[in-house]
Structure 1
């Protein structure tokens, strides 16, 4: 039986540069967003597994005996290197009373929990008696990696509960992280959770949630950058819904129609990503303020390119205009067509300018967070390292 009460967290993600161009073989930079998903892992009554996800209205519990029996029926192909099969997911949906075509967040979150609980315990031992409560600072459906942060937290918690990885938090420490080998295992199982939720994800979101910092992604290859600075940003959600699938198709159509015009734009976006990577890697050794005007120019140029390839939106134009009026530089992040934008904040950005920008953005009906990018990946926390809001959210019974 699992004996300890622990809290762990994983960050969200934003795309810094390379949106859409990455679909066509170019470089993208993904960075960890310091809005985090937190998981409270506690012992549960003998013979019980409980999961509570207040953000999506899930409160479920099962007898471990029924889960063990279910596991025997579907466990033949459970492995962190294999995709969940259609048959496995169908059986789990029937068991949990989830409709065959259900795509609501609460259904997918429950399904991912069941799959990961059974798959991990099948490889490493019995189904653990655990009570898991998850609370997130990340909005769902905003392209900020909320499902991946959830999957990373689940993977780490269940692997610990099954004794497949260590519990590195020592007495007196505020935070702790796992070894590189253990992080690789966490990431591989988190990717399976993402497959349950998304079907065919790239693996970038869960990798950012696991390792944090910044990652370079190109043609399926994910490379964590060795050292990057934490940068302050303003993250703004325009709340304008969009379809990533439709936007991606629109870009492809434009490339096919005007290849001589559009391919150089994609090459330029690729060059922006690579220039930004060089700047980020140089900053920790030489934290000069001279880097910030370069990063701001890259934001401005890339935002224009993203409008050229057809993924802008009047709401994003308004976001950029509002922040520019306060001397700040912004770009869309993710699919575009609405969704979210990021605004770079220099170390010397005045609190008055930032508050004025936030006020004006909120007056447009947008939602804003002041946060950081380049944040740590999945982390164990002592209670003393958590703020009052997180502690309150995780103390709910």
Structure 2
């Protein structure tokens, strides 16, 4: 087992095009958001496993000896043998119940906190049980991503955990070399990280699509179609405003609403979904052609696609007055916006073209903030899960570490 401190980060995600249509077999484009979850793992010898999640107010510790005694019962009867390297196991209902006992959380613990702890315990026990003895670790995870906003915060958490635990247990090598500020794992190692992260997502969401953890693992932009995920080659890093309307939404109800509208008006809604599919494909084509020196006309096409898709989403019934207000405010500043994710509130994205004067960007942000929204400038197409040097942290990580 490695003895050095590990610092890992993984990005969140936004859906660029294809939300809701993807449920009905159409293409969706998901892109990595340059807001990240950071994890610091420090091996120690105090016989405990400590987990701190300051964003959601979790600080727990477990005795390694007690967790070690659970190893056989956690594996299940007849499965006492240790897993082979690279084996990825799916949580069973019996294991979930066992983990709930181990977690020792109070009955009134919030669901978000409970699921985060269960995902951690599952990944820790499953990945580390190949060790001669379960390791004593101190793990802190903090995030720039707001939880429950549809930005892939749980996937970034699961990906960061999987990458750090696999590395500390030497299931995959540490790719960080002397002099590196940051580095990434090989394709083969990333595939293993992604498989384990998906199991963490299953602990949290039950039956996830796998898109969020894939985007957080690989970064850049991904195409998702009928369960198949593929990376877009060299997508540009686009500057955006990310706006959180802070209006809560019920994803399940919104998805059901679109399905009901399709059943009620098939000849109207089916062509909308087909058109949304075409928007995703056209956006994929344009992104593939943009390269490192995008032409102004390519941004004009992206803006048109954003406008058309937002109108389609409103026609599907997943818009909201807050999102209409977002679009109106940004349009007054010559910018183009759409919802991202389930809709009904939640978040929206606004494309920022190169050459846009910073005072205009600040004026737009101020106008959105005056509406009661949270707004920040960031980018999409960010790198996936990465490992960083603890001695050469960027200012974002330094700031986060300074508060812990």
Measured against the shorter chain, the TM-score band is: over 0.9
Give the conservation status (yes or no) of the 8 Å contact 2:89–2:126: no
Q: 1:164 aligns with which of 129, 150, 171?
A: 171
Q: TM-score, normalised by structure 1?
A: 0.96
- Quick one: distance in 1 between partners of 2:223 and 2:299? 20
Provide the aligned length of Structure 1 versus Structure 2.
397
1:146 aligns to 2:146 (yes or no): no
Give 1:271-286 correspondences, 5 Å limit: 271-284=278-291
Q: Alpha carbons of 1:387 and 1:252: their partners in 2 closer, same or farther (altered >3 Å)?
A: same
Which piece of structure 1 moves more, 99-108 or 222-231? 99-108
Q: How far does residue 103 in structure 1 lie from its aligned partner after superposition?
A: 5.6
Which residue is equivalent to 2:142?
135
Residue segments in structure 1 that go unaligned for 5+ positions in a row: none
Which residue is equivalent to 1:200?
207
For the residue of structure 2 that corresponds to 1:56, the secondary structure is coil
Which residue is equivalent to 1:31?
31
For the residue of structure 1 that corresponds to 2:55, the secondary structure is helix
Q: Alpha carbons of 1:286 and 1:395: their partners in 2 closer, same or farther (altered >3 Å)?
A: closer
- Quick one: distance in 2 between partners of 1:341 and 1:281? 23
Give the conservation status (yes or no) of the 8 Å contact 1:126–1:162: no
Give the conservation status (yes or no) of the 8 Å contact 2:240–2:379: yes
Q: 2:387 aligns with which of 367, 380, 384?
A: 380
Which piece of structure 1 moves more, 13-22 or 79-88? 79-88
Which residue is equivalent to 1:8?
8
- Quick one: distance in 2 between partners of 1:215 and 1:25? 16
For the residue of structure 2 that corresponds to 1:290, the secondary structure is helix
Q: 1:309 aligns with which of 288, 308, 316?
A: 316
Give deviations 1:99-141, integer Å, cap 9, x for gaps.
6896621111111110000011124553222111111000000
- Quick one: distance in 1 between partners of 2:398 and 2:236? 27
Q: How far does residue 48 in structure 1 lie from its aligned partner after superposition?
A: 1.9
Which piece of structure 1 moves more, 326-335 or 221-230? 221-230
Which residue is equivalent to 2:331?
324
Give the conservation status (yes or no) of the 8 Å contact 1:19–1:335: yes
Give the conservation status (yes or no) of the 8 Å contact 1:17–1:302: yes
- Quick one: distance in 2 between partners of 1:302 and 1:15? 12
Give the conservation status (yes or no) of the 8 Å contact 2:184–2:385: yes
Give 1:20-169 correspondences, 5 Å limit: 20-76=20-76, 81-98=88-105, 104-123=111-130, 125-169=132-176
- Quick one: distance in 2 between partners of 1:385 and 1:233? 27
Give the conservation status (yes or no) of the 8 Å contact 1:80–1:192: no
Give the conservation status (yes or no) of the 8 Å contact 1:124–1:164: no
- Quick one: distance in 2 between partners of 1:101 and 1:48? 25
Q: How far does residue 287 in structure 1 lie from its aligned partner after superposition?
A: 2.5
Give 1:233-382 correspondences, 5 Å limit: 233-284=240-291, 287-382=294-389
Give the superposed CA RMSD. 1.7
Q: How far does residue 289 in structure 1 lie from its aligned partner after superposition?
A: 2.3
Q: How far does residue 390 in structure 1 lie from its aligned partner after superposition?
A: 2.3
